[in-house]
Structure 1
Amino acid sequence: MKPIISCSTVTKTYNLYRRKRDKLIDLIGNKHGKQAFYALKNITFEVFPGETIGVIGINGSGKSTLANLLAQVMPPTSGNIDINGDSSLIAISAGLNNQLSGSENIQLKCLMNGFKKTEIDNISSAIIEFADIGTFIEQPIKNYSSGMKSRLGFAISVHLNPDILIVDEALSVGDQTFYEKCLLKMNELKANGKTIFFISHSISQLRPLCDRVLWLHFGEVKQFDKTMAVLRQYGSFIKWFNELSSSEKKQYKKTMLTEQFNKDLAVSRKAEKNGWGFYVQTGLLLVVSILSGIWMLLSK
């Protein structure tokens, strides 16, 4: 069977700057004295249609970075990601416009995904019913609690019928009733051959739903195997980590984070610097910066 997602030596790095102007200097080609942070390093795995993959790891391990790469929100710095289908990311407030109401966000998200007006009209009521946020559906998103944003985001995404559903901690803020409702919906999608990435800190959430689990540890794959095999190892690690003193935990994290940094590294920016596209982007950034400066001067 052909993989629906194939990641080959995928790395995502971020250049860190001491001053704002250093970023502009970097854009025009000066790569000296740069510090880079490896959010993900040499990630390789394959996932097949119909699988539900759990993604676990302590804070700072690169789970949300991986979610954004799989959802094609941003490109990798190096390596290849082959995605054979449409993906949809569910994270708290991801893709929602804070100035628009819930119902307006439904219309916007559906239009962005190529739905026709008649199709939008057909699924809007189902989305609103699933979200179950009452009259808040006509209020601006900025007035929503994190739980309400999560409800609406999940409701929209699952009704867009994506091939790949990526759930990034979006269910951690909802109540138990809504969580169980979401589990039923994800099992329904799974039964229909959809692929799901379920990102969570909770072993108990991953255990009943996932076929395999990917354990990320400070930007690298620690283990990728059957669910129970990984969760046993991860549970043992968490038990060991929790038994450390506060100073020992701090030192461990510091040591691991140090390995994710590389000073004086000229980061490969293949994805961003692609032929003329890079120079067009750089030119636009310069124009926007100049216009913003002029606007600020005129506004005084």
Structure 2
Amino acid sequence: MKEAVVVKNVSKKYRMYRSKKEQLKDLLLPGKAGKNFNAVDDVSLTAYEGDVIGLVGINGSGKSTLSNMIGGIVPPTTGEIIKTGDTHVIAINAGLNNELTGMENIEFKCLLMGFNKAKIERLTPEIVAFSELGDFIYQPVKKYSSGMKSKLGFAISVSADPDILVIDEALSVGDQTFTNKSLDRMNEFKENGKTIFFVSHNLGQIKKFCQKVAWLEGGKLKKYGPTEEVMEEYEKFIDHYKKLSKKEQEAFRVETAKRREG
């Protein structure tokens, strides 16, 4: 099997400030104000061509940060990500210009993806039809609901036929009919040997669609392996977490956040 994405000891660190004053002080006297936050901490995994990998974890676990690094939106602080093939990211609002109409966004994003005018003209009717936006395609995106933005972003991105596709909660909004159609399109990618990273809180979708799952907790990779094996443990964790009181859940989040400082 051919490696498609190799994540090697990847970390993403941010500086956190409580105020603009703290930020300015840290700029003038580095290390004297603010604190480090490890959004992703020393994660390593390998995806092979045709793998469909679900990224799971409670809010703030680091899965979106990792997916953004795999997609090339943000660079790692340390480590490296080696990819074989073109990569496209689908996320709610990703890359859409709110001031442009849906139709103008199609041309704008397709140009950014390297398409020439002839190819854009050929693909536009297919993108419009897939988006199901009707006459809203001629309205400014700032008037769209989150579901409409997601539909447009998905329709544009899948027209590119990428080798590697990163989907971050893009199917968490909108109607079930569109979600099913989008899953069908992703299954086509899957059958054609594309590599897909799928970030979602919908555990049913993860179990149905993904072959493997990477479970992140507190920025670290807690478990990576076959979907059935990882999801069995993750769902036990979720069940336990949901049974905690609000105070206990808050204590868990605070303790996890402390471990990510430094």
State the alpha-carbon separation in 2 of the partners of residues 191 and 2 from structure 1.
16
State the alpha-carbon separation in 2 of the partners of residues 21 and 118 from structure 1.
52
More off after superposition, 30-39 vs 161-170: 30-39
Residue 7 of structure 2 corresponds to which residue in structure 1? 7
Residue 63 of structure 1 corresponds to which residue in structure 2? 63
Residue 155 of structure 1 corresponds to which residue in structure 2? 155
Aligned residues of 2:22 and 2:34 also touching (Cα < 8 A): no
Offset, 1:22: 4.9
Residue 245 of structure 2 corresponds to which residue in structure 1? 245
When normalised by structure 2's length, the TM-score is 0.96
When normalised by structure 1's length, the TM-score is 0.84
CA-atom RMSD in angstroms: 1.4
Q: What are the superposed Cα offsets for residues 67-86 of structure 1, whole Å, 9 maximum, x if unpaired?
A: 11011111111111111111
State the alpha-carbon separation in 1 of the partners of residues 136 and 20 from structure 2.
39
- The structure number with the bigger radius of gyration is 1
Q: What are the superposed Cα offsets for residues 121-141 of structure 1, whole Å, 9 maximum, x if unpaired?
A: 111000000000110000010
Identity of aligned residues (%): 46
More off after superposition, 240-249 vs 135-144: 240-249
Q: What are the superposed Cα offsets for residues 179-227 of structure 1, whole Å, 9 maximum, x if unpaired?
A: 1001100000111111111111121011111110000111011110100
Offset, 1:9: 0.8
More off after superposition, 212-221 vs 20-29: 20-29
Ranges in structure 1 where 5+ consecutive residues have no aligned partner: 263-300
Q: Does 1:41 align with 2:72?
A: no
User: Following TM superposition, where does structure 1 have runs of at least 4 consecutive aligned residues deviating by more than 6 angstroms?
Assistant: none
Aligned residues of 2:55 and 2:198 also touching (Cα < 8 A): yes
Residue 112 of structure 2 corresponds to which residue in structure 1? 112
* Secondary structure of the corresponding residue to residue 32 of structure 2: coil
Number of residue pairs aligned between Structure 1 and Structure 2? 262
Matches within 5 A, 1:172-251: 172-251=172-251
Aligned residues of 2:26 and 2:33 also touching (Cα < 8 A): no
Offset, 1:250: 1.2
State the alpha-carbon separation in 2 of the partners of residues 10 and 24 from structure 1.
28
* Secondary structure of the corresponding residue to residue 228 of structure 2: helix
* Secondary structure of the corresponding residue to residue 172 of structure 2: coil
State the alpha-carbon separation in 1 of the partners of residues 188 and 83 from structure 2.
22
* Secondary structure of the corresponding residue to residue 225 of structure 2: strand
Ranges in structure 2 where 5+ consecutive residues have no aligned partner: none
State the alpha-carbon separation in 1 of the partners of residues 21 and 151 from structure 2.
40
Matches within 5 A, 1:248-259: 248-259=248-259
State the alpha-carbon separation in 1 of the partners of residues 109 and 231 from structure 2.
35
Offset, 1:257: 1.2
Q: What are the superposed Cα offsets for residues 70-105 of structure 1, whole Å, 9 maximum, x if unpaired?
A: 111111111111111111111111100000000101
Q: Does the C-alpha gap of structure 1 residues 49 and 28 become closer, same or farther in structure 2, counting only changes over 3 Å?
A: farther
